[in-house]
Homo-oligomer: A and B are copies of this chain.
Amino acid sequence: MTKEPFTLIGTAFHTPERCRLEVLQDHLFSVDAQGRIAEILAPGRPEYEARANAARQAGTLVLLADGQFLLPGLVDLHIHAPQWPQMGKALDVPLEVWLQKYTFPLEARYADVDYAREVYADLVDNLLANGTTTALYFATVHVDASLALAETCLAKGQRALVGKVAMDDPEQCPPFYRDADATSAVADTRRFIEAVKVLDPQERPLVQPAITPRFIPSCTDAALQGLGELATEFGCHVQTHCSESDWAKQFVEARFGQTDAASLGGFGLLTRHTILAHSNFINEPDMDLIKEKGAGVAHCPLSNVYFANAAFPLRAALDRQMHVGLGTDISGGYSPSLFDGCRHALSTSRTLQSGVHAGLPPEQRGAPGEPITHQEAFWLATAGGAEALDLPTGSFRVGHEFDALLIDTKAKASNIHINAADDTLEDVFQKIVLNAARANIAMVWVRGRMVVG
């Protein structure tokens, strides 16, 4: 799929490394017919004017206006696509009620592919409008509905990894919503992987399959074993929940006599292309193992407030150079926005460091480790997530694919207020990270294709 090349001139912010904000003031970006960044030029470079003039004459020049800025697209490492209709609902009930009364019955409805197509079209439109250019999706147990999600992403131009969920243990999964048995869970996953590869046969596919055991407690040993073999056979991505809560951590340790991460490793499910959602209760050996395997964590600070019992030890993971990115975890998280995700990651990290209980002496209140910065939060939502997924996006670099947002700080309903006389560009970036909303996202590109705007 080729598109017309274009050239964009404006000021971009990105975090090519975790602790480094880079401001590309008035730079020129050339995007080629494959949607790749072919050239990035600073003002004053000899080719700058020539490129700008050529694009202007060809009618392919995009000029950012005053108050507009370019950011890399956002990468959502954990989202339950079928839960989109209940986003912002049922967060006032205990986990068991949330699962049995709301979530499982809702997910079961995706046996109806028409329902799936309708919801998934709305979901992908809305996520793109919120700036999510890449999403790692849990779908449902249904192969056809999961394929409908992959097709929808491809049609609408969202970079995506989609997983048919595997959950076959009758002790933990409801009779109306599970794989019939381990054999069919594995066979259906294979069928799904093969179908997605047919759907998007490009050398660099936009949409890829992900092997998706819901989490260890919902899968039999045989299913986990079979899915691990598929991971080896296809080398594709793997996603699952890991050590999210006290209950989940204890359940796996009681069943296998070892941690969640170690158990996944034993089944061949911990690879360079694995994303572990949550991981709040991983210990130091788990971190070493995850780092050694090259796997990553989808940190979901908002949903953790509702369904975990503690915060992810983010600083410890970053200090180990583990791959980490952010997940909205819709609908355990109520917000579809990864800008909200950045802000929740900041709050959680600061709260973990300071503690919360005023009745304790300061030294007993929090946990060791420096809180993250807003630059690090933004890195998690962009380059960090992209690196975890091993995808060539998340920052502006020649050869990377052009996944980007045009932020309009002067949009109607904007809560970003810039004072040109007083604010540095670094201040502008902080104001964007802390107050950007959907209303500020004027345009969105994925692989050079304009998908919003």
Bound Cα distance A305, B347 (Å): 6
Bound Cα distance A449, B422 (Å): 35
Bound Cα distance A434, B373 (Å): 25
In the complex, per-residue mask of A412-450: 1 if CB is within 8 Å of any chain B CB, else 0 = 111111010011000100110011011100000000000
Chain A: interface secondary structure?
loop
Select which of B347, B357, B427 is within 8 A of A344 by beta carbon.
Answer: B347
Q: How many chain copies?
A: 2
Number of interface residues of A (CB under 8 A): 64
Q: In the bound complex, do residue A365 and residue B88 qualify as a contact, i.e. CB atoms below 8 Å apart?
A: no
Q: Which of A336, A355, A415, A423 has the most CB of B within 10 A?
A: A415
Q: In the bound complex, do residue B413 and residue A437 qualify as a contact, i.e. CB atoms below 8 Å apart?
A: yes
Name the residue on B nearest A365 (C-beta): B310
Q: In the bound complex, do residue A85 and residue B309 qualify as a contact, i.e. CB atoms below 8 Å apart?
A: no
Name the residue on B nearest A312 (C-beta): B358
Bound Cα distance A305, B309 (Å): 19
Q: Measured between C-beta atoms, what is the minimum distance from A241 to chain B in Å? A: 15
Q: Which of A5-13, A122-130, A189-197, A230-238 contacts B (4 or more CB under 8 A)?
A: A122-130
Docked complex: A344-390 residues within 8 A CB-CB of B: 344, 346-348, 350-352, 354-359, 362, 365-367, 373-374
Q: In the bound complex, do residue B374 and residue A366 qualify as a contact, i.e. CB atoms below 8 Å apart?
A: no
Bound Cα distance A84, B417 (Å): 9
Bound Cα distance A367, B129 (Å): 39
Q: In the bound complex, do residue B431 and residue A415 qualify as a contact, i.e. CB atoms below 8 Å apart?
A: no
Q: In the bound complex, do residue A367 and residue B357 qualify as a contact, i.e. CB atoms below 8 Å apart?
A: yes
Bound Cα distance A322, B243 (Å): 39
Select which of B88, B90, B129, B430 is within 8 A of A413 by beta carbon.
Answer: B129
Q: In the bound complex, do residue B417 and residue A87 qualify as a contact, i.e. CB atoms below 8 Å apart?
A: yes
Q: Measured between C-beta atoms, what is the minimum distance from A9 to chain B in Å? A: 26
Residue A335 CB within 8 A of the other chain: yes
Q: In the bound complex, do residue A334 and residue B434 qualify as a contact, i.e. CB atoms below 8 Å apart?
A: yes
Residue A320 CB within 8 A of the other chain: no
Bound Cα distance A141, B84 (Å): 49
Select which of B310, B335, B358, B423 is within 8 A of A358 by beta carbon.
Answer: B310
Q: A280-B358, A311-B356 are in contact. List 18 more A-B contacts (CB 8 A).
A: A85-B417, A87-B417, A88-B416, A88-B434, A92-B373, A92-B430, A246-B362, A305-B346, A306-B350, A309-B358, A310-B355, A312-B358, A313-B359, A334-B435, A335-B435, A351-B351, A355-B357, A437-B439
- Which 10 pairs between the two chains have the least Cβ-Cβ distance? A310-B358, A88-B431, A88-B434, A413-B439, A334-B434, A357-B367, A311-B356, A439-B439, A413-B438, A352-B356
